[in-house]
Chain A
Amino acid sequence: MTFNDESIDESILGARPNPIGPTAELVDRQRTQLTETIAEGASRSSKPEQPPEHTSLGGQLVDITTLDEVRHAPRWSHLTLAVAAAALLFAAVSVTNRSDESTEIATEAVFSDEAVPAGDDLGSDGETTYPAADDIASPSADDSVEDAADGPAQRSAEQLPADGFCGTELPIEVLLTDGTTVLDGPLPGYAPASDGQLIKHWTQNDVSFELRWPVNPQTVYGDDSTPSLAIAYLEGFDSDGDTVRRFYPVWTEGAASDLTDKGGTETVTFVASVTAYPDLAPSILAIEGAPFPSSETTPAFEITSVHDGTPATGCSQIGVRAQGSDGQQVGFSFGITDPKRLMGESPLVIEQLDAAEAPTQVVACDGAASDPEVPEFLERTLTIEEHHASPAEALQAFLAAVPAHSLSESGYTEITHPDGVTYTLPFDDDKYVALITVAKSDEGWAATLLQTSGC
């Protein structure tokens, strides 16, 4: 058995012990120990003349998909497939305004048969003597958007509709514990709805959830502080209900910047192929860490479907907040995006490179190292059906003529060579994930060769 850098990291990760977690008794004891130390420190403390820098932070946290950022960035990586698939977990479609005013999202027993308290029953345990996380993290009506806009995370997020109105019902269906009551409005202590914004919340298994729609991921959860809960993974299923893929958020300075399927730390900057995993729905949002009783990952709720329709401008992002009974919380947003829309918004060709600057090789498929049936590369000579007036038209015709391919329909790099033009989907500065050669004959331009990774 051989290891490359990636597989050795995977194997190290695979050997990682997952201890259950400290006992509540230990946590209490060590909290008390610290509290006593703090009390001693407080009695001895001499206050400096200048107060520490004030920060007005909203309670938030994470933007998992940030599809707009993904859409406009210039480079790809193989991890983008995971992001694309993650998008597709929620992208079976998008927003339909329904006239039904019901506040019940869905109820079906998937976690336990026990009835759970209503969301308004949420509260602090009251045992901690210093400020709980939400004392600082809870956004108020006044600071939720404007102050957060001054925060560090400036993203190219889409603008919300002028009136904030996207619909009268959330664009997703959520499967909850039987008997769970879904209430209108925010979780207690959090900002009320902005104009047109729809907010629902509920509590199950001692964790309260809040969904806001639409949200601007650039501002609504506008700090990058370390969340006390973590999104463990999003999980996709095939049509038989088998788990086929899990996507792990990558935490950078406490904020989940991207979603990968390997727990890696690369930054995903572009969706190279949004058709990689078109059938990964429904999906489960799983959360680990406090307030759950162990370090085991806990399913939070399941998104069973996304409503049909094309998302209206500014209506793609849903904000999620999860808060435990002890006040610890995590927040993030995810995008609902029709993959066709995603593809359609980027130009067919986004950059042009000289041949000397161009990538020189296709990135090999990782799976080939461990599975002899997986080729490192694929190469196919294309049958020329017709010729076109320009290289770009030839590329477009090729993409249109192969309906089930997994290639992006936009975002190509055009490289001009002495004997023709190639179009690439870059992997990084040195490699690409696909290369389409377009050659000119007396009759015009036509795609002649397709080279891709074997994955």
Chain B
Amino acid sequence: MNLDSAAVQASLTDPERFGLIFEQHHRVIWTYLARSAGTSVADDIAGEVFVAAFAQRDRFDPERGSVRAWLYGIATNKLRTALRSEGRARRAFARAAMPDQVPDNTLLIDDIDDLRSRAHQVKAALYQLSRADRELLILAVWEELSYADIAEATGVTIGTVRSRLSRTRGRLRELAATSGELSMEQVESRGDLR
């Protein structure tokens, strides 16, 4: 059992021990929320994630996954609740997923121009995915969760994660290839393309 799991278990008898979970994971959960729906949504929800996690800590099963995956699952549910409609979720994502530039700590520096171009296309394509598919890709690629952790966070089997990710990547490739030079605004103006 690792430190996080031990802290959650210990918090059943010594609730203050749960504070460690906040210290360890608040930032990464906030960042996940901010990437998915913008900083204002993240500000609203991040604290709720930990309060909810504390309230249901007796349900955490270390055999099923890590504390981090468990928190991602709670955060994902909070996001879905906060952004109930697909349209609202998509608009929130569009606002969030517009970095001014490709972060320089992402990949090889000498590929940066190419990456910017690709990122532009992919960003627009990501926006067109369904919320469920986008969640999966964000957890896999942006948040770098393992398949097992994604399965735990989203409540589906690993096999389903694999197949859905594969299908979603294929869909994204098609979308990215056809999005060309469309701006995010143009994509948004086209409405729901799915």
Report which A residues bind B (CB closer than 8 A): 1-5, 7-22, 26-27, 29-31, 33-35, 37-39, 41-42, 45, 47-48, 51-55, 57, 128-133, 136-137, 152, 223-226, 228, 232-233, 243-246, 250-254, 261-263, 265, 289-290, 295, 297, 328, 370
CB <8 Å contact, B146 and A265: yes
CB <8 Å contact, A34 and B42: no
| A34-B22, A34-B50 as given contacts; A263 in contact with B107, CB under 8 Å | yes
Closest chain-B Cβ to A245's Cβ sits at a distance in Å of: 7
| A7-B118, A41-B15, A253-B66 as given contacts; A15 in contact with B24, CB under 8 Å | no
21 contacts between A and B (CB under 8 A): A1-B177, A4-B173, A7-B118, A10-B118, A11-B119, A11-B176, A12-B126, A13-B107, A13-B142, A18-B99, A20-B39, A21-B30, A33-B47, A37-B51, A55-B2, A133-B24, A223-B2, A225-B2, A226-B24, A254-B66, A289-B27
Interface of chain B residues 77 through 119 with chain A (CB within 8 A)? 96-99, 102-103, 105-109, 111, 114-119
Closest chain-A Cβ to B180's Cβ sits at a distance in Å of: 9
CB <8 Å contact, A17 and B99: yes
Kindly state the separation between the CA atoms of A225 and B24 in the bound complex, as whole angstroms: 10
CB <8 Å contact, A22 and B30: yes
| A1-B117, A13-B141 as given contacts; A57 in contact with B2, CB under 8 Å | yes
Kindly state the separation between the CA atoms of A230 and B9 in the bound complex, as whole angstroms: 24
Query: Interface majority SS on B: helix, strand, loop or mixed?
Result: helix
Q: Which of A9, A13, A51, A244 has the most CB of B within 10 A?
A: A13
CB <8 Å contact, A55 and B119: no
Contact check: which of A53, A55, A228, A245 meets B23 at CB < 8 Å?
A228
| A12-B141, A223-B2 as given contacts; A132 in contact with B23, CB under 8 Å | yes
Contact check: which of A42, A48, A133 meets B16 at CB < 8 Å?
A42
In chain A, what residue has the closest Cβ to B39?
A19
Given A31-B19, A54-B6, A226-B24, 16 extra CB contacts under 8 A: A1-B117, A2-B177, A3-B172, A4-B173, A8-B173, A12-B137, A15-B122, A16-B35, A26-B46, A47-B13, A53-B6, A130-B17, A133-B20, A225-B4, A253-B68, A370-B114
Report chain B residues within 8 Å CB of A45.
12-13, 15
Closest chain-B Cβ to A70's Cβ sits at a distance in Å of: 20
CB <8 Å contact, B146 and A261: no
In chain A, what residue has the closest Cβ to B116?
A14
Q: Which 8 A-B pairs have the closest CB atoms?
A: A130-B19, A225-B3, A30-B47, A52-B9, A11-B118, A14-B119, A19-B34, A130-B16
Closest chain-B Cβ to A144's Cβ sits at a distance in Å of: 15
Contact check: which of A48, A246, A253 meets B12 at CB < 8 Å?
A48
1/0 contact trace for B144-181 toward A, CB 8 Å? 10100100000000000000000001001100110000
Closest chain-B Cβ to A304's Cβ sits at a distance in Å of: 21
Interface of chain B residues 21 through 76 with chain A (CB within 8 A)? 22-28, 30-31, 34-35, 39, 42-43, 46-47, 50-51, 54-55, 66-68
CB <8 Å contact, B16 and A34: no
Kindly state the separation between the CA atoms of A243 and B54 in the bound complex, as whole angstroms: 44
Kindly state the separation between the CA atoms of A130 and B24 in the bound complex, as whole angstroms: 13
Interface of chain B residues 114 through 138 with chain A (CB within 8 A)? 114-123, 126, 137
Report chain A residues within 8 Å CB of B16.
38, 42, 129-131
Report chain B residues within 8 Å CB of A48.
12-13
Report chain A residues within 8 Å CB of B14.
42
Cβ of B1 under 8 Å from chain A: yes
CB <8 Å contact, B103 and A18: yes
Kindly state the separation between the CA atoms of A342 and B172 in the bound complex, as whole angstroms: 42
CB <8 Å contact, B177 and A3: yes
Report chain A residues within 8 Å CB of B24.
133, 226, 228
Kindly state the separation between the CA atoms of A267 and B174 in the bound complex, as whole angstroms: 29
CB <8 Å contact, B54 and A38: yes
Closest chain-A Cβ to B156's Cβ sits at a distance in Å of: 18
